[in-house]
């Protein structure tokens, strides 16, 4: 690793000059990742400012159940007025289901907005029934899309797949103790199923064959919780 304080000072002047009203903290920082230069003393800054947005008005400008297109008028931290347009969503679930051989159940389907076939975990929307829990929704979606039932289901946690344009929350689950059955697809659903090993999943994520965000997040979260010991826990 090279050390060049002059190069670093130039970097600080370019990127730190506008931070004179913000908090700067000394610490170990990865400036060298961007410059290839690792100075002996590295300044690492943390930005702290008021980022609060206050909603002044909210208008539903288009309804297409179960979704709505909403335009909010907001006040920014500097008192300027702006708008935020987004889609409301009932929420959804996705299931990482692992069988006794350490294989994971996947589905293949065409996703019209991106114009291509995707390889992803079984998933679906919450159906709006207040009596159905998220875990029950996950079990239902797993059965409908793959025909599988499970003896055990574990909640991994929620994710926001695209919070800039939608309030959708997808709750991820891990299922095991699987039993085969038959699909129960909606009239407009055409879904193929397949099984992948953990090594195949890793390879397909790295090769970008699997690009579905909820699938990658579920795989990461299950791994962080120690649920993927060679595919079986």
pLDDT digits (tens, 9 = 90+) for 187-200: 888 999 999 999 99
Say whether pLDDT at 232 is over 90: no
Q: What is the pLDDT, as a whole number, of residue 18? A: 45
Q: How much is the pTM?
A: 0.79
What's the mean pLDDT in 77-89? 96
């791994």: which residue's tokens?
223
Rounded CA-CA distance 113/229 in Å is 35
What's the mean pLDDT in 205-211? 96
- Are the C-beta atoms of 128 and 92 separated by less than 8 Å? no
What's the mean pLDDT in 157-179? 97
DSSP string, 80-119: -EEEEEEEE---EEEEEEB-TTS-EEEEEEEEGGGTEEEE
Which pLDDT band, with edges at 50, 70 and 90, does 211 fall under? very high
CATH topology of domain 92-224: Nucleoside Triphosphate Pyrophosphohydrolase (3.90.79)
* Mean residue pLDDT across the chain: 84
Tens of pLDDT, residues 22-78 = 444 434 444 454 555 555 555 566 788 899 999 999 999 999 999 999 999 999 999
Q: CATH 3.90.79.10 residue ranges in the chain?
A: 92-224
Extended strands (E) in the chain: 24-26, 43-45, 54-64, 67-75, 81-88, 92-97, 104-111, 116-120, 123-125, 149-159, 170-179, 192-196
């Amino acid at each position: 690793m090279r050390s060049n304080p002059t190069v670093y000072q130039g970097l600080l002047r370019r990127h730190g000059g506008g931070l004179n009203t913000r908090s700067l903290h000394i610490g170990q920082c990865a400036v060298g990742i961007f410059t290839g230069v690792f100075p002996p003393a590295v300044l690492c800054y943390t930005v702290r400012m008021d980022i609060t947005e206050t909603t002044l008005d909210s208008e539903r400008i288009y309804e297409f159940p179960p979704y709505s297109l909403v335009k909010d008028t907001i006040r920014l931290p500097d008192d300027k007025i702006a708008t935020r347009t987004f889609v409301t969503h009932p929420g959804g679930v996705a299931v990482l289901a692992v069988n006794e051989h350490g294989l994971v159940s996947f589905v293949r389907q065409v996703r019209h907005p991106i114009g291509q076939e995707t390889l992803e975990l079984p998933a679906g929307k919450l159906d709006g029934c207040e009596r159905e829990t998220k875990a029950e929704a996950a079990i239902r979606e797993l059965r409908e899309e793959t025909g599988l039932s499970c003896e055990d289901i574990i909640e991994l946690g929620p994710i926001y797949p695209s919070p800039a344009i939608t309030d959708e929350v997808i709750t991820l689950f891990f299922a095991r103790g699987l039993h085969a059955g038959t699909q129960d697809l909606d009239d407009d659903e055409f879904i193929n199923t397949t099984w992948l090993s953990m090594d195949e999943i890793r390879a397909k994520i790295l090769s970008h064959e699997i690009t579905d965000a909820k699938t990658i997040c579920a795989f990461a979260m299950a791994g962080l919780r120690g649920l993927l010991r060679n595919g079986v826990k």
